[in-house]
Amino acid sequence: MQQQEIIPHLFRTEYRKIVSVLCRHFGFEQITIAEDLASDTFAIAAQTWGIKGIPPNPAAWLYTVAKNKAKNHLQRDIIFEQKISPEIQHSTPQYYETDIDLSPQNINDSQLQMMFAICHPAISTEAQIGLSLRILCGFGIDEIADAFLSNKETINKRLYRAKEKLRDEKASIGLPDSRQINERLAPVLTTIYLLFNEGYYSINSNITLRKDLCFEAMRLCTMLVENPLTNKPPVNALLSLMCFHASRFEARINKNGEPVLYDDQDTSLWDTDLISKGAYFLNCAATGSELSKYHIEATIAYWGTQRIDTPEKWKIVLGLYDQLLMLAYSPVAMLNRIYVLSKVSGKESAIIEAERLNLTTDQFYYTLLGDLYTDRDNKKAKENFSTALSLARSNADKLVLMKKIENLQSF
């Protein structure tokens, strides 16, 4: 991997780990310093590696630099305090000599605790999710703005206010007690869900699939499953959902790096181990009486790994979408339901349902209409695909739509 590739990759995977450990060490009130030290570490890497080349173990190199920078920062603070407060000159400043522990176990513990520190009830759910995406997931401000359908200025202000509020509240870094776990778990799961989706759909990139983000989301969710306090049914359901989707990674892209639609995928490329893991975690999620949106989406994803095309299957999936929409309405879920409706009741019924939505700014709305009109009214199909193409944001989506239009023109 070249330097121009490895530093962004490591920033995505290691930045949040370094910030979590440093913030746990310094305290949440020093979160800005922790972020600055982590950012400086990567700036030094970009400069040094450009001259000396990439070290044999880049992550370990980053950890060493981050630890040294943290110790230097703490030592400067001690010296400064001694100069302005002579009475503490003879005290024993031991804490800056304490090792900054960047071992795998402490990184995991720090990230888990940071997840819950950020998801504090003193700040809004949107702020919790945005701050988690920035600090725990290394998302850029543009990516967070897109996730919230907002703009950079709004997101920057939201994150700044959230940090200030958490400092005012003297938020501690640690797991909440058993009474608070459930209410604090929801935004944590939403953050992981958004991280996986960013990798799986790559709305903000011309890369169709970014596996590193998906596997990082699965790793964070696995951390929750492995901790007795957070091993709850919705956590298992979310991990199940991600396993089912991840099982089709290799089939989603062809040899030329082009996206392959579901109906055209080579099922021999599906990862049966991940499908089995998905089934295992879905079974684990079945305990208790709680039914979350992750339960329903995981069950829908399970049926997506069953390559049978029968009326019975589609009726089951349609019923699941009806449940999902009652529990957590979203335009995406509604569009998916209409696609399934076309399998159960035919395209004419689905077109009537779709056109009632009138989602005139949604690329996928027009893509669905184009698919539904194909072979029924190819002129309307082309019009809808063309509108979808004008709204498409990624090269992968544009490529798929251009092929659909090209296929219509061959009739």
pLDDT of residue 201: 75
Over the chain, what is the mean pLDDT?
Answer: 87
Query: How high is the pLDDT of residue 98?
Result: 59
Taking residue 29's Cβ as centre, other Cβ atoms within 10 Å add up to 14
Helices assigned H by DSSP within 148-261 = 152-168, 178-201, 211-226, 233-246
The answer to whether the beta carbons of residues 306 and 289 sit under 8 Å apart is: no
d(CA 268, CA 248): 10
Q: Round to whole Å and give the CA distance between 198 and 141.
A: 13
Q: Is the pLDDT of residue 109 over 60?
A: yes
- The H or E element that residue 267 is part of is none
Work out the average pLDDT over 59-78: 88
Band (pLDDT 50/70/90 cuts) for residue 202 is low
Q: What's the rounded Cα separation, in Å, for the pair 275 and 307?
A: 12
pLDDT at 336 over 80: yes
Per-residue pLDDT averaged across 63-79, rounded?
A: 86
3-state secondary structure of 363: helix
Name the helix (H) or strand (E) containing 94: none
Residues 6+ apart with CB under 8 A from 89: 82
Measure the CA angle with vertex 108, ends 106 and 112; round to 5°. 115
Most confident of 111-125, 256-270, 276-290: 276-290
Q: Which two tokens stand for residue 1?
A: 């991997």
Distance CA(372)–CA(402), nearest Å, equals 17
Phi, psi torsion values for 68, nearest 5 degrees: -65, -40
- Matching residue, tokens 């935004």: 187
User: Quick one: average pLDDT of 233-259?
Assistant: 91
Q: Residues of 267-305 as b/e, b for ≥16 C-beta within 10 angstroms?
A: eeebbeebbebbbebbebbeeeeeebbbbbbbbbbbeeb
Quote the CA–CA distance of 366 and 353 in Å, as a whole number: 13
pLDDT of residue 83: 63
Contact 40, 15 (CB under 8 A): no
The answer to whether the CB of 251 falls within 8 A of the CB of 266 is yes
H, E, C per residue of 298-354: HHHHHHHCCCCCCHHHHHHHHHHHHHHHHHCCCHHHHHHHHHHHHHHHCHHHHHHHH
| pTM of the complete model | 0.80
What Cα–Cα distance (Å) separates residue 18 from each residue in 15, 64, 106, 174, 402? 5, 11, 11, 16, 43
Start-to-end CA span in the chain (Å): 45
Q: Which of 35, 43, 101 is nearest to 71 (CA)?
A: 101
